[in-house]
Structure 1
Amino acid sequence: MQKLRVESFSISIDGYGAGPNQDMDNPLGVGGQNLHQWFFPTKTFQQEVLGKNEGTTGVDNEFAERGFKNIGAWIMGRNMFSPYRGQPNTDWKGWWGDNPPYHSPVFILSNHKREPVEMEGGTIFYFVTEGIHSALEQAFKSANGKDVRLSGGVSTIRQYLTAKLIDEMHIAISPILLGKGEHLFSEIDLPTLGYACTDRVATDNATHIIIKKKTTSS
């Protein structure tokens, strides 16, 4: 059965998944880039994102690597795709250059219609104005039986989480404090929504947490 998964999503010890004042110079907010220091050195990041044949192995890389396995489509929020607000800048094609690391359809939640953008390597950006359920339905259909990865950002994950649509989350808790920004779980009652922590592994750079939606027995 297809799943909606959050993978390699980093938060601070105090629960923030992005820093304040996100803009062109700080796409993850002030201090937000530091959340991902566990991820940047890994072989998975170096190969999948930067196209380099190098990087670290070990537990951090194993968690990074699992985030690309059996993924047939992606969903992300508008703010994660672009720093522009309001009417879209049609010249903007994302932060990732001509060959983004997705290599599959990516469905972007938006308030404004835009024609699909086809990139190198099999990535096609689709802009969905009908809401989170429509984006998920389209992503599942396009994934050809594989899972869908919910990329973020914080607001988008919170919407899918409170709607109980996420099946599994890998959260990496980085050993930093942000103090302010976008809080991932604020005022969300995960146990009541049916979620439980099923695994945890600590490394020098992060504590990896697996949260899954409980299955109901008949």
Structure 2
Amino acid sequence: MSLTRVHNLSVSLDGFATGEPQSLEAPFGHAGERLHEWMFATCFWGEGGATGVDDAIARRHEEGIGAEIMGANKFGPPGWHDDPDWKGWWGPNPPFHTPTFVLTHRPHDPIEMEGGTTFHFLDATPAEALEKARAAAGGKDVRIGGGATVVRDFVAAGLVDHLHLVQVPIVLGRGVRLWDGLAALEVDYTIEAVSTPSGVTHLTFDRRPTA
């Protein structure tokens, strides 16, 4: 069976994966881009970036993915449902290149984009959404793309096989926390930590095999 994976999810020292409030002008609220500066500096993000450990780990985001699931707040800012022209943050050729399932309580027709991305909109539980994404993934893995609330819900439901977090040495104080309700997460996962010269620590959680 395909795996369910999370990659490159950056969190602050106090556990926030985004700031507040989110808006069209500030997709990550008061956090700005501080959580993602480590990634912007890599070759994975753009030509001329650095190679090295951050780059090598970031690139795992792309490997073997056949579908993505994301939350409504990753797809757009508050109010995007009421804008008939809104097609996501990423322009005509989004970086997903797979069927991409957006979790929302408001129905919306699918949006077909360039490069193989089609956005499908679901009002579904994590398990129901994962079933649809797996069917569309063609035997490949499913990536849970965020934001933090969606990742937290999938982890809490026991549906995530591989979780890659990047702990960034900043304190945000407020926003959306990843860890709430996930007490004793370490019981179900083996954990590896790798610190890099950029100052971040890559934490990978791999689900322990069941007996």
TM-score higher than 0.5 here?
Answer: yes
Q: Deviations over 1:92-149 (max 9, x none)?
A: 0000111111011100001111111011111110001123222111111111111011
1-structure distance, mates of 2:115, 2:186: 41
Q: Secondary structure at the match of 1:80?
A: helix
Aligned-residue sequence identity (percent) comes to 40
Matched, 1:212 2:203: no
When the two structures are aligned, how many residues end up with a matched partner? Answer: 210
Give the counterpart letter for 1:167 in structure 2: D
Counterpart in 1 of 2:149?
155
TM-score by length of 1: 0.91
Residues 10 and 35, structure 2, Cα contact 8 Å, conserved in 1: yes
Q: What secondary structure sits across from 1:60 in the alignment?
A: helix
Cα distance in 1 for partners of 2:185, 2:111 equals 39
Listed as ranges, the gaps of 5+ residues in structure 1 are: 47-52
Structure 2 length-normalised TM: 0.94
1:50 maps to which residue? none
Does residue 98 in structure 1 map to residue 98 in structure 2?
Answer: no
Distance 1:184 1:109 in 2: 18
Aligned residue for 2:33, secondary structure, equals: helix
Deviates more, 1:70-79 or 1:130-139: 130-139
Name the SS of the counterpart of 2:151 in structure 1.
helix
Paired letter, 1:18: T
Can you give the 5+ residue segments of structure 2 that lack an aligned partner in the other structure? Answer: none
- Give the letter for the 2:202 counterpart: H
Change in 2 beyond 3 A, CA 1:121/1:180: same
State the distance in 2 between where 1:191 and 1:44 align.
Answer: 29
Q: What is aligned with 2:41?
A: 41
Please say if residues 128 and 134 of structure 1, whose CA atoms lie closer than 8 Å, have aligned partners that are also in contact. Answer: no
Q: Distance in 2 between matches of 1:158 and 1:79?
A: 14
Whether the 8 Å contact between 1:88 and 1:112 is mirrored in structure 2 is no
2:198 equivalent to 1:202: no
Task: Point out the more displaced range, 161-170 or 85-94.
Answer: 85-94
Q: Does 1:113 align with 2:107?
A: yes
State the partner residue of 2:12.
12
Alpha-carbon separation, structure 2, partners of 1:191 and 1:203: 24
Aligned counterparts of 1:190 and 1:97: Cα–Cα separation in 2: 40
What's the Cα RMSD here?
1.5
